[in-house]
Amino acid sequence: MNIRKTWFSFFVCSFFYFLANAQVATEKEVDIYNMVVAKDGSGDFMTIQEAINAAKGFPDKRVTIILKNGVYREKVEIYEWNNRVSLIGEDREKTIITYDDYFDKLNLGRNSTFHTPTLLVQGNDFYATNLTIKNTAGEVGQAVALAVNADRVLIENCSIIGNQDTLYTTGEGSRQYYKDCYIEGTTDFIFGQATALFENCMIHSKANSFITAASTPEGMPFGYVFMSCTLTGEDGLEKVYLGRPWRTYAKTVFLNCSMEDHISAEGWDNWSNKEAEVSSFYAEYKCKGTGYKPSQRVSWSHQLNESQAERYTVENILGNRGTPDNGDGKPWYLNFD
């Protein structure tokens, strides 16, 4: 009997020793610089946050996380120590990150808005492509889909979908580049203090309201710049404003953009802040479409001349300050490959 117990104990111990070592071996097989997330279990992780949590903090090279097609219902946070992260979807229409938090649901006080993002990016040198990022709360007030509080960020070929406060761009002095994206919402659906360039994006309004609410810090040369974007709206809209100042020194400029007739003839609103009419800067240059009515814009906005418009280049707006040294001399927004 004692011999049987001894063999049984030996078997149990051996079994659990095998499992423990098998788990260690499995973990060692994950390349923390190149990970795959797949809902069907075929990747390294089944959720995006698991991959983020497994990534090396303050890495010495880029961390690439491939997202296979699927609907990822989760709140995702790219922490401040998760710099140099790339989230690369398999297909823009089929790789979806979604959640439904909103102000009243969270009920965390006056700053509840900032707790609502589906995807929150706080690590510098972040890159995302081929993704759809949604807040599906509906028309229930403030509900952020994507919040970016980081410097040197490129969001390319992504759809950012919500209603009020869809995209929060923040971080004083931070530079963010949104290229070939689709962004939709209702009220102030692009808002914040970052210097943000939107190039070749579709900006879609779902209600008579305001597209932008910049809070550009005083003294910054650029705030929001829209280049060669297309502004569209739901059928029946006729009173959509290009922007209003969340803070007094807001800056927003549209260059060579196409505007449909949902855009209000006045173009801009002062948000009941007369001081902003002097201290903010709202301007357009060579736009087109039935919504572009320069002669009817509010008197305190601007139509740029050619020499003024020449300042608005990708290089001037985004700069190259603080780029991690990779030895090739390229500006930061060309360093994500």
How buried is 296 (Cβ within 10 angstroms: 0-12 exposed, 13-18 middle, 19+ buried)?
exposed
269 is catalytic: no
Cβ pair 98, 71 in contact under 8 A? yes
How buried is 314 (Cβ within 10 angstroms: 0-12 exposed, 13-18 middle, 19+ buried)?
middle
Give the tokens for residue 94: 């089929």
Looking at 125, 151, 188, 269, which residue is catalytic?
A: 188
Give the tokens for residue 79: 């922490």
Cβ pair 86, 127 in contact under 8 A? yes
Looking at 151, 165, 180, 325, which residue is catalytic?
A: 165
Q: Give bridge partners of residue 184 from the DSSP assignment.
A: 161, 204
Distances (CA, A) of 141 to 99, 104, 106, 188, 189: 15, 8, 12, 11, 11
Catalogue the active-site residues: 165, 188
